[in-house]
Every structure is written in structure tokens, then in C-alpha cells.
Structure 1
């Protein structure tokens, strides 16, 4: 029987800044108490290309990490080093192609290093799922794509992490996302005026600390604290959820100053969820930022390294970026994007 016939297909899914509530999307906290996060997607992307092959092989390529591997189409894939590529390929073929594997090249690149704290791994999985959705004609909407990406990462591959990144990448934009019991997720796009959105965008600076981190260790410590009902961890998560709600309210009325106050409180709560959230390097850059006009700041993602971001008055943004770069950071402005994962043919 002839194999699947398809055209070269590409997809991209945006990375995100976790503004507030990160960690409350972890089990078992959201399963018991419900979680809430506020995030926004930015102009950094995970890209995936699905390219047909005629040689009966499956090839996984990650251009940004320099890994390339090739297998016979029916060969076991357990030796694959590119776990995300393997996980998505196997699940999509099982669920939407009757278990029949198709020869193809699965090629990716990401606009941020691994461990960035920008949700890059989950955005990559969303891009892969979305590209293969088109190739296989799978009837999946944004909620389905996000849920399937979550299952592949957290269940199939047993990788530690939460839920917000997949939904941010699938939907895009500025969202308040609720994670409720029985795996219910509600994505609430926030309608803010162009003036508020522009002012907030101009008030943000991101800074790569120069060190990627292994978020799994921090997430595992947070999860253990929740499983053992550690009072300090649960109380900190409650505060993070409250901060997400309050920051949403402040954003809707355009109070950037109030958002900065909430972010400072939220950063303290974040550090209380587990050891290792902050490091000496993060503390150093935070001190530099606060001395250079930043009103608040925090780490994006689980912590331990990766990207930080700061709220600053637009008049002081250049001064802040210069100071952070002089201190060895990699500071840049922020550009919001409103579109989630997109696919196209060539």
C-alpha cells in the first residue's frame, strides 16, 4: 500500500514570559486547589519542519543543538536522543495514522537555548504536534493541540513540568489561564487597549543570565513539597495564584506601577516554593537592575537560571539594558505577539 503523500510543512509556536502564577499549574496543586497563571507570548519561536522522504527512513534533526539521527522507518526509536521529536512522532503516528510509521524528516530549531525559562521545550512540542496535525489531517483545535502536547511531555515522556507553556504556545497572546480540577483548562484572552499593551511592552526588559538551568530539579522539589502538603510550599503557591489574579486586574486598568509591586511580592513567594529558584548570579543581576531603575523583576520559568525580566519606566529602559549588559547579562527589549502556533505548506 502506498505511503502517505504530503507536502513539506512548517510550523512555528511562540515562546512566552510567565508574568505571574507560574508553579500553580503543577500537579498536585492545580488538581486540588486550582491554578491560575498570567502570561504573554513574545517574538521568539520554536520552529518545526516536516519533510517527506523516499528512502524509508525517519530522520530527527535539531539544528540549534547540532543533533541529527536517522532510523529505518520500522526500527525501534528507543535509542533516539531527541526525546521530544521521538515522543511527538510516535504519539501522532499511533493516534492519527493507525500506528503506521511514515518516512520523513522532522527538523526543528528554537530561538532560545534549552533551559531558558521561556517555555521553549513545550513550544517545540506544540509546533511539532501542529505540523504533524496538518500532515496527518488530524482534527485538532488549539485546546486539543495543547492538551496532546502536555500528555506527550508529562505522561508519555515523564518530563517534569506544568501546563501553562503548552497552552500559551497553542493560543498566543496575553492570557489569564485557569487550571481546574479534573484536567479542565480555561484560556481567557485579555482584552486590553492598544495604549495599555504598548505601555506594558515598552516597560519590559528581558535578560538572559548567561546560564541555562535544569528546571526539572526545582519542579521536582516543588512537587514533593505539594505531595507532602508542606505548609510553606502550599502557602507560597496560594500567594502566587492570588498574585496572578491581582496582576490581571492591574493590567486591565493599565496600572503598571501596581503590576511592579505585585511582581516583587510574587518573586519572594516564588523563592519560597523550593530551594534553588534563585542563585548568586540571579541575585547579582537583580541587584544591578534595581540600582539601575528597575521597579521589579523575576525569573521567567521555574528558576535557577535562564531568562529574567524586569518592569521599568520606558524612559529608563535603555539605561537598564546597558547596565545589565555591562554586568555580563544579555538584555533586550520585548515584543509581544498575538498569534499562537501557525502552520503552512511550501
Structure 2
């Protein structure tokens, strides 16, 4: 058996500029981090070597790859001509909550399958392959940031170019300031699930409007501002930048926020947070707040009743955490 562990991600600034409708006109940029909440993929030889068994939210048992219903499982196994395997997925957090779970699944699946076949995989390689699977083969109307964030791990500035290349740069901070940043971030669950594909289709279409394109361009500028303040170990403006980015993102399309999200966000700001944003494409999931340590007790008291999810930064990206004695059998 082989087991991969792939982190989920939080995007701080620049989201949406990883969509082709933007970066093919102007260079996109996102600042994000992976976190210590994970997708696990296990692969093992199946006792019937002519069949494939898949276990995720449902169970599939098929005798041909083309019969697989799950599009990512189907396209990855087809890509490598792989059969006679048993694949299982387990996640710390459900899908549709804004933490990039779909891409973490794709990256983790690729890492597990490639390791099963004895192929080496760098983070950048896994990110590029995951984009190929999700964007080109499955046809999902999504961007590229989640795949590279999950594959490479860490606190990164990710740039998207019109020639389809992607550059991942680590943000280097003083350890104590990075630890303070980690501790000042609070995530609360507002419930529900969103359809990221539907919202991203709307966002991609909206960017064709010049005013919306300008808003997206300003969101990219905020990503550069955020990189500068972090690299200079100045996190005082972090909340302000999150807040500005959230207001700009909401202006792109009505599906990004809801009355429930707006109400929770306002409660958080009144409770002492300096800024925040809804994570992911929008509509539901988790709201991230930036709240200085001295205000956090009051924040948690005033925001009482909300489901907080404790987390920390992840520095490693997708990893193989278990390799059993199976290579002699494949």
C-alpha cells in the first residue's frame, strides 16, 4: 500500500487572477499558504487484477477505466493506463468549503499513482499535471492556484503567465513573525457548500467587463503589497489588505457572498478582527479573520456560537507518508 498526504490551502490575495480569462491578458499573482488539514489517498493492488475499486463518497467497482463515474479518478487512471488497483480517499474537511479540496484530491491521487508506478514527482511537476487533469481533461472552469499550493506547500507567491507557465516563490519571513501571523489567523465555518465551478464561471465571464477586469487587476496589486509586507516582516497591514481584497472580490459577481456571509463577517470585524475574507470561490464554507493576539479572547467571546476550526501552516506540500512492501507484486 502507498498513502499520500496532501494539504488544503488558504488563499490570501489575488484569487481569480489564476483564471485564463485574466492571466492570458495580464500576468496573474496569488499569495497563499497550505495548512495542516489534509487529503489522504491510499492505493493498493486489488485482488482481482482485471478490475478497479474506488472508495470515496461512494464505492465504484468497474472492469474498465472508461466506466468510472468519478472524472478525476477516471482521467488519472486513464493517463497512466492503470488497472487492478484499489483506491481510497479520506479528507479532514468536506468538499465545497473553500479550501481547495478538489485540487488537493487530484494532486494527492497523482502523487500516489506515480509513486505506485515508481515515478519521481516534484511539487511543480505534480502541480502542472493536476492542472492538466482538471482543466484540460476534465474541463473544470477553475484556475491554477490550488494545484500548485497543494503540491508545493508552504507560504508562497504564485505567478501565472500568459504562456501557461507558473512560478512558485517561497515567502521568507523571520520565524517569530511567521509564527505570529499563523497565530493571528482565525477560521470560522459559516456552513453550506458552494459550487466553485458555477461561481468561477460567473467570475471568469465578469472579467470580460472592463470595470471587473480593473477590480481583478487591483486584487493582483494587493497580492504584491501583501508579499512586500510579509517579506519585510510587517504584518500590521495584513488585515487591511484582506479586507480590501474581499470588498473587491465581492464586486466581481453576486454569487461570491450571501447575506449570511456578510452578517458573520460584520460580526467578526465588530468583535475585533482587522479584516478577513470568505475562502474559496465564494457562497459558503469558511471565513478567515485576521485578529491580533491581544484581541482574540474578546473576539471568540463576541463571535460565540460560530464553529471555529483551529489550524496551522503546512510547509511541505504533498507527501508520501507510507510505502508498503508492494513493488515486488506490481
| Paired residue secondary structure (1:28) | helix
Distance 2:3 2:182 in 1: 28
Return the alpha-carbon distance in structure 2 between the equivalents of residues 125 and 104 of structure 1.
Answer: 17
* Structure 1: distance between partners of 2:211 and 2:281: 17
Aligned length: 322
Counterpart position of 2:61? 70
* Separation of aligned partners in 1, 2:267 and 2:35: 24
Contact 2:156 2:171 in 1 (8 A): yes
RMSD: 1.4
The match for 2:76 is 88
TM-score (norm 2): 0.94
Contact 1:321 1:332 in 2 (8 A): no
- What residue is the counterpart of 1:244 in the other structure? 223
Which piece of structure 1 moves more, 287-296 or 131-140? 131-140
What's the secondary structure of 1:340's corresponding residue?
coil
| 8 Å contact from structure 2 (residues 4, 109) kept in 1 | yes
Return the alpha-carbon distance in structure 2 between the equivalents of residues 181 and 236 of structure 1.
19
Give the CA deviation at 1:109: 1.2
> Does structure 1 residue 58 correspond to structure 2 residue 39?
no
Mark the CA change 1:174 to 1:199 in structure 2 (over 3 Å): closer, same or farther.
same
- TM-fit CA distance, 1:139: 4.2
Partners of 1:238 and 1:253 in 2: CA distance: 23
Deviation at 1:330, TM superposition (A): 1.5
Partners of 2:150 and 2:318 within 8 A in 1: yes
Provide TM-score, normalisation by structure 1.
0.90
Distance in 2 (CA, whole Å) between partners of 1:325 and 1:303 is 23
Aligned with residue 310 of structure 2, among 311, 314, 333 = 333
How big is the shift at 1:174? 0.3
Q: Does 1:185 align with 2:162?
A: no
Query: Within the alignment, does 1:15 sit opposite 2:8 as a pair?
Result: yes
Deviation of 1:140 after TM superposition, in Å, equals: 3.4
Which of 112, 123, 130 is matched with 1:131 structurally?
112
Question: Equivalent of 2:198, from 213, 217, 220?
Answer: 217
Task: Indicate if the aligned counterparts of 2:10 and 2:32 stay in contact, CA closer than 8 A.
Answer: yes
User: Quick one: distance in 2 between partners of 1:321 and 1:186?
Assistant: 38
Q: Residues of 1 paired with 2:202 and 2:105: CA distance? A: 25
- Residues 204 and 333, structure 1, Cα contact 8 Å, conserved in 2: no
Partners in 2 of 1:321 and 1:105 — Cα distance?
44
The answer to whether structure 1 residue 345 and structure 2 residue 323 are counterparts is yes
Unaligned segments of structure 1, at least 5 residues: 1-7, 94-100
Structure 2: runs of 5 or more not aligned: 325-330
What's the offset of the Cα at 1:291?
1.4
Give me the whole-angstrom Cα distance separating, in 1, the residues matched to 2:267 and 2:76: 41
Q: 1:122 aligns with which of 103, 111, 114?
A: 103
The CA distance in 1 between the partners of 2:124 and 2:109, in whole Å, is 15
Q: Deviations over 1:142-201 (max 9, x none)?
A: 212111111111111111211001001111000000001211111001111111111101
Distance 1:225 1:43 in 2: 33
Shift of 1:256: 2.1
1:322 deviates by: 4.1
